[in-house]
Every structure is written in structure tokens, then in C-alpha cells.
Structure 1
């Protein structure tokens, strides 16, 4: 979550094939139940993870000095508020009926109580519009989130939005979005779209232990408009796979969202949500910097035992 897409302005689309169907390897099925021995998440992360003295994942994100703007753990329970634990207090609202505190979150191997939010295809998180989540075209930003999508079976041809800042200006689309597109054969592909661009890029994931069995993916969209030519990078890590999957291209342009459109997780648009996501999401963060591969690697390491 490849369907026909009609737009009025050029777009930058950055696809990343999440899974490949080839001999000996079939698309994985996400775990749709709480893993055995895993307690439901409690919405908080222990200060030192598994007690070995290393900073917890949350401490790594909150105290990393990486230009953090907002951090939604998506581990909330018994609430309608998606709490922003970052410095900007950009709290969101859960809409629909997502399953909060679902056990087996992206950090559960290190922090067994970690939970995530399970979105069922009619649910979302709505964050009121903020300029902090819509940097100008000459600036930098990164959006990062852990994703575990459902089995491709039955989703051929679907497009599912993971996060979107999409808005309008003079009738034209603005902003950016990260989404999952299922091909006609059911193969899922991560895609990032920057409205106002005109270059296409793709990176393909090779086979690996993390490509099967419902593994968590850390997906990052990185935009840098500070150089002579702007660049957009898609960067993927898979739990259990040592490889880095990434590609960088120079878009023709990017127009940030300046109207009142909210930032939405798990769908596009809040009042009339479209292309909703089905699966588990965890640990979403927005930065006003372009994270480096080393920084993203450190986030992955902080999630591991």
C-alpha cells in the first residue's frame, strides 16, 4: 500500500520494493496476534531497555541531538491522544477504532512491554497542522517510522498511506507522503512522494532473513533542500537483515504545505480519509535535519537487545 495515479503537477515518487517474490522466498505474512510470551505494551519505554546500561530507544531519540521535532511512540493505551513525547507537544488524536497497546511492538525484542498501534483500514492519527512538520523547500527534514504491514494476500493493487502532510495551494497538491503500494502480483513497495518534484527513483530489497515472517521495517524519508540541488532519499532497514536499502535522487521541486491540512498517520486526509493503512505502526518521529545513515543505524541498534 501499482494503481493509476493522476496529478495536476509533477511529482517526485521514490519507490522501494519491500518484498520480492523469487525462488525460495515468498512474501511474508505479518504477525496479526500478540506473540507468545509478550505482554501488551504499556505506552512507556523503560529508561535502560533490558537493563544492560545502554540508553533505551526513547532516550536515543529524545536525547540524540538530531533536531527532533516530534516523537509519537504509538504505544499509547486507554486514550484517544497520540502523545508527542518530543519537544513540540504536537499531540495527535486517534480516529476510528485502532487497537492501542498491541503487544509485540518494534522494540519488543529489547523492551518486552513495548506495544504498537494496529490500524485496521479505517483508523488514523490526526495531528493539527503545524509549520514545524512542513519545512520549506530550502530546508531539511526526516520522517522515520517502524512499519509491519499485513500479508499481501488480498491486497493486490492497493495503495495504503503510512503518513501524509498533503495539502493544497491554488488547487495544486503540496507536501509529502509515505505510502505502501501493492502491485498487481501482491508485491508490496514502499513509496515516498514529494509534491512539486518530477524525478523517479527506486531501490530494491534483496533476499534476507528479515524479508519473511512479518519483520518490522524502519522506513525513513529524508529531504535536503540546502544544497545546490535538492535531494530526497528513501532509506530502509529490516530487522534481521544486515543490509541497508537506499537511493537518493534530485527532485525538480518541492512545495511544503501551508494551508490548514493536518498531518495524518495511517491515511491521507482526515475529514475524508483515503487510502488507509492496514497493519502495525510504531515509534514515529519527525526531525528538522537530514538524518545520516550512521544516525539511522544507531536507531536500529537501539531497538535491538
Structure 2
């Protein structure tokens, strides 16, 4: 325990289920707790420097803490975050993420002279560099450099427009970074934008270049800057040719690199072909009617009608997708609702774990939901989409949070950046919905489905709009 001002700050170390592993702040005169940090992974020590609480621990699951992260043991080498910073006012996790290794715990004691943070423990590296047993962090200068951005992805699906997308970088002690976009190896940025990120929350960013002539070819690079410290520029994107006209709907989808793309145009057989070229086929299950007129005007590809429990399910499972976009076209007049698309742990039966889904309520509202950390998180549309017309539905989740789009336009967002952790199957047409807000009478949908696609990244608003618009001008 340590004191600062009129507060006492404590570190807790426990073993086994039900223990308290985090830290807390309390008034020593009244015993009233100000806040409690519920991270899992024993906390060995705390220190307060410059109005910030620093903790040494092996935190591996801070899903119940503001600004925190879900269980990381199975997804990140080194597993735990051994050093974290918290707000003195409310215990929220701040954007300060240096790290040590642990043999096995890492930091065991923190101390301060009022200006610096000293850390001692059973570690041999700090931020990946050799440093055994003792280290210190000074207040200034800020010499950390953001990580190098990955090569951006450039696509052009509408006349005169190039969309450049990339995943945000991170910095050890800066949350908001500035990004500079360069065209064709130039030294002067053609665009600049800023965005917040942390190692566990990295949004997908994008820039629309509308200044280049149709038919011209270009490449793009990106760097990240924090407090005047610039990363190395990314590798250049693959060359992109500026479109002279709007692409067909199918080519627009493929240009944005889906993980699978089920056009649902088969007239027989049990398999839904994957038009993305990735080989991730689907299986037709139950009662379906094939050969309906499709959603895309002028395209001869057909749609399917699901009813009475029929659906399409992925032939192979997927482990814990946390960044994705899921897309479908839907037409119905049902007043009993149902799940349109979603992720569940059962391939063919009713799932016991199920989220990352879009369902329709009895009133024709569209609801996008994930389950995290122990509750439903949703975005919902207005009612009335059971009007017998085709509607384009896209739901995205990742470092950008959650977003729901209907007919090319955003209808709502939610800041949640994680979903329930499990291995499952993407399905279209129905699955369990018990316990979800405004759950419809039926969990299996009755209506027409077409053009189902899933992307392993977050589509930008411009990309979503291009899908809808290019379908109408197909």
C-alpha cells in the first residue's frame, strides 16, 4: 500500500477463482472506497507519480476495467501486461504500455522520488531490451517512436476515387497519433489525420483520394508521429489504378478482400460457393428455396429464401474473430423477426454461445449485437425494414468500435471494441437469440437472403457506401 494526498492506494495478490487481483483507492479516514480496478493477474505493487497510479502486476484480463482489454494469454506472446497506469480519480487504464518479461511475475516493487518511477523485480528485459532486475522511467524527454504502420491497402471501385486503408500504429506512452499519407514516393504528405489507439485497440483508418485522373496508377505509404517522433514509413501499397467507372457489385466486394463471399446463386446442391477465391464455402441446411430474383439489379445471380429453420453455415470454424465486417442483403415481410447473420459455436444446431450478429425484431428493427464483457452490447436501427424491399445491411466491429449500416448509411455506433471469446461458425438465416434485447418471436429468419460476405477487417463508411451505390448502378 502507498499514500498520496488524502488517499490510500493498494495492490492485491490472490490465487484461484474468486480472488481480488487488482488495485484500489480508498479514503483512510472513512474507509470509503473511491474506485476498484478489477484486472485479473496479481498486483505486486503500486506507486503514485505526477497524479497517476502505476501498478506492477501480470495483468492478463482487464475486461471489466475502463480502458482495459480481454484475456490475452491465448493471443499474445508474453501474455501479461506487467506495467499499467491508472487515473487517480477513477482507476481507468491510461495509454502507458511499456512492458517487462517475467520469471514468472516481472515487477515486484515500485518506488518514486516524486518525479521518476523506479521498478524492481524478476525481469531480464524491458521493452524487449536487456535490463535485469531494476529500471527507471523518467518524466522527460518523450523519446518513444510509434510502431511502423503496415503497408496500406489501396482500392478504387468508383470513378475517380481511391480509398487508402491501414491499421493504426501504437506508441508506448501516447494514445493519439498523427498519420501522414504519401503518394507515389513523394516527401510531402497528401493527407494527415489523427486517431487514438492502444496495443489492444487499433482502429482501421482510411483516406479517400479524389484528386487523381481516372486510369492513372499510384502507390501509397503512411507514417505515424507522436510528439514530434516519427515512425519509419510503411512499405508502399500495391499499385492501384484509379477507376474510370463504377465497378460491378461483385467486383466491388472482391476489391475489399472478403474472407468469404457467398453469392447464394446455386440452384441445387448442398454447398454455397465462395466467390472471394479464399475457398471458405458454406453449407445449405434445412428448408430453402433456390433461384429467387437476386438483390442486385441487372445481375443474373439469384438469391435464396429461408423459412422453417433453413440457413447457411460456414463449412469451417473460425477462432475468436475480434475485427470483422459482416454483410448481407435481405428482403422480408415477416412480423416474427429472426437472425439474419451471426456467429455461433454450433455449426448445425442451436448455439450456446452466440453474438456478432444482426437480427430483425418483430417490428422490423435491425439490431447488431456482441456480448462483452458480461452483457449484451447493441446498435439498433429504426423499425420498418420488413417492408418487402431489398435492404443492404453491414455490421462492423474492431478498434473503431461497433457500427451498423443500412442501405449504405450508418444508423448507429457503440464504442465496444471486443466480443465474447470462443471458436464458432458464421451463419446466415438463423441461430439462437435467447436473452437478447427485443428478441423476436422466432430466432430463425423467414425471408430472402443474398450476397453474404465477411471481411477480416473494418470496412470504412466510404467502402460500405460504395457497395450499396455500386449495386444500384450495377
State whether TM-score is above 0.5: yes
Question: Which residue does 1:164 correspond to in 2?
Answer: 342
Equivalent-residue separation in structure 2 for 1:287 and 1:162 (angstroms): 17
Q: Residues 192-271 of structure 1 correspond to what in structure 2 (within 5 A)?
A: 192-197=368-373, 198=375, 200-205=377-382, 214-225=388-399, 231-237=401-407, 244-251=409-416, 253-258=418-423, 261-268=424-431
Q: What number of residue pairs does the alignment pair up? A: 218
Greater C-alpha Rg:
2
Equivalent-residue separation in structure 1 for 2:383 and 2:368 (angstroms): 19
Equivalent-residue separation in structure 1 for 2:281 and 2:383 (angstroms): 37
Which ranges of structure 2 fall in alignment gaps of 5 or more residues? Answer: 1-63, 65-243, 433-441
Q: Residues 287-298 of structure 1 correspond to what in structure 2 (within 5 A)?
A: 287-298=455-466
| Closer/same/farther in 2, CA of residues 257 and 201 from structure 1, 3 Å limit | closer
Which ranges of structure 1 fall in alignment gaps of 5 or more residues? Answer: 1-9, 11-51, 239-243
TM-score normalised according to structure 1 size: 0.63
Q: With CA pairs under 8 Å and 6+ residues apart, which has the higher RCO, 1 or 2?
A: 1
2:311 pairs with 1:130: no
Q: Once the two structures are superposed, what CA deviation does each residue of 1:41-67 show, in whole Å capped at 9, x if it has no partner? A: xxxxxxxxxxx97532111111x1x23
| Closer/same/farther in 2, CA of residues 176 and 246 from structure 1, 3 Å limit | same
Aligned alpha-carbon RMSD (Å): 3.1
Equivalent-residue separation in structure 2 for 1:91 and 1:202 (angstroms): 29
Could you list the structure 1 runs, at least 4 aligned residues long, displaced by more than 6 angstroms after superposition.
none
Equivalent-residue separation in structure 1 for 2:403 and 2:290 (angstroms): 31
8 Å Cα contact 1:174-1:256 kept in structure 2: no
User: What's the CA shift for 1:130?
Assistant: 2.7
SS of the residue corresponding to residue 78 of structure 1 reads coil
| Closer/same/farther in 2, CA of residues 174 and 122 from structure 1, 3 Å limit | closer
Q: Residues 53-132 of structure 1 correspond to what in structure 2 (within 5 A)?
A: 54-62=246-254, 64=255, 66-103=256-293, 105-107=294-296, 109-111=297-299, 113-131=300-318
SS of the residue corresponding to residue 89 of structure 1 reads coil
Q: Once the two structures are superposed, what CA deviation does each residue of 1:104-135 show, in whole Å capped at 9, x if it has no partner? A: x110x232x23110112321112134327x42
| Closer/same/farther in 2, CA of residues 194 and 176 from structure 1, 3 Å limit | same
8 Å Cα contact 1:199-1:252 kept in structure 2: no
| Closer/same/farther in 2, CA of residues 55 and 262 from structure 1, 3 Å limit | same
Q: Once the two structures are superposed, what CA deviation does each residue of 1:255-294 show, in whole Å capped at 9, x if it has no partner? A: 2322xx432210116xxxx721100000011001111111
Looking at secondary structure, tell me which structure has more strand per residue. Answer: 2
| Closer/same/farther in 2, CA of residues 68 and 115 from structure 1, 3 Å limit | same
